Amino acid sequence: MIADEGDARAFCAERVDAAALERLERLADLLSAENARQNLVSAASLDAVWQRHFADSLQLADHVPRGTDTPTTEPGSWLDLGSGAGFPGLVLAIARPDAAFTLVESRKRRVEWLSAAAVALGLTNCHIVGSKLENVESFAARVITARAFAPLDKLIRLSARFSTPATVWLLPKGRSAAQELAEQPSAVRAMFHVEHSCTDPDGGIIVGQGTPHLP
């Protein structure tokens, strides 16, 4: 379990190369500056940005083996829903330059932030879509991530059309993970399970693979 900023930075350093670590440092600076202009994250969380945001996002990559994704000029093979301040989408794009990412966000100022941050960080593998998910054209996503996007039933209903039998779902849900999963139809419960978060002793990540069979 990651207990503090030192642990969190070491956790990240074990999972990314020197160039990516420098980009994460830069992202921390960019986030702090932008947070003074718009409330991207709580001000208190900036004092623990490595634990609360960077390691919390990066732990998701542990569930997807390297070498299964290749960059593409088509919509990204990783789909991040409601990217907001860029977590987990920007962090994962930094960590996985070998994969292509599509970050979907409907709020105009968040879209502007994500686009500016991707350019500043040189993330050529990161495509920002400023739209509601309902209006995004379907494509086959290798991985679907979402942090604080929607209740699980709505999240699955809106994003199932992007999934294939091989799609990996990584859905951080905090303390509500087990309860939200328990409330789903049996077919959904059979497809997913809950993994413990490395950054929150009470947090959970809903993990699964495939295409949900919805009633």
Q: What is the pLDDT of residues 145-176, one digit of tens each?
A: 999 899 999 999 999 999 999 999 999 999 99
Q: Identify whether 114 is part of a domain.
A: yes
CATH number at residue 105: 3.40.50.150
What is the gyration radius of the CA atoms in the chain, in angstroms? 16
Q: Identify whether 155 is part of a domain.
A: yes
Answer yes or no: is pLDDT of 70 > 60. Answer: no
**What is the overall mean pLDDT for the chain?**
93
The whole-number pLDDT of residue 67 equals: 56
Provide the domain count of the chain: 1
Q: Identify whether 182 is part of a domain.
A: yes
The whole-number pLDDT of residue 50 equals: 98
Question: What is the per-residue pLDDT across 72-96, written as a single tens digit (0 to 9) for each?
Answer: 444 569 999 999 999 999 999 999 9
Q: Identify whether 88 is part of a domain.
A: yes
Q: List all residues 6 or more positions away from 111 whose beta carbon is below 8 Å from its beta carbon.
A: 105, 128, 130
Contact 31, 47 (CB under 8 A): no
Q: Identify whether 214 is part of a domain.
A: no
Instruction: Give the C-alpha distances (Å, rounded to integers) separating 194 from 103, 156, 166, 181, 189.
Output: 24, 15, 18, 8, 10
Question: What is the per-residue pLDDT across 95-121, written as a single tens digit (0 to 9) for each?
Answer: 999 899 999 999 999 999 999 999 999
88 lies in which domain range? 5-209
Q: What is the mean pLDDT of residues 55-70?
A: 82
Q: Identify whether 54 is part of a domain.
A: yes
Q: Identify whether 38 is part of a domain.
A: yes
Per-position DSSP letters for the chain, written without gaps between them: ---SHHHHHHHHHTTS-HHHHHHHHHHHHHHHHHHTTS-SS-GGGGGGHIIIIIIHHHGGGGGS-TTS----SSSPSEEEES-TTTTTHHHHHHH-TTS-EEEEE--HHHHHHHHHHHHHTT-TTEEEEES-GGGSPP---SEEEESSSS-HHHHHHHHGGG--TT-EEEEEEETTHHHHHHTS-HHHHHHEEEEE-SS-TT-EEEEEES-----
Q: What is the mean pLDDT of residues 198-203?
A: 94
The whole-number pLDDT of residue 72 equals: 47
Bridge partner residues of 106 (DSSP) = none
Q: Identify whether 215 is part of a domain.
A: no
Confidence of residue 69 (pLDDT cuts 50, 70, 90): low
Q: Please state whether 150 falls in left (phi above 0), alpha (psi between -120 and 50) or beta.
A: beta
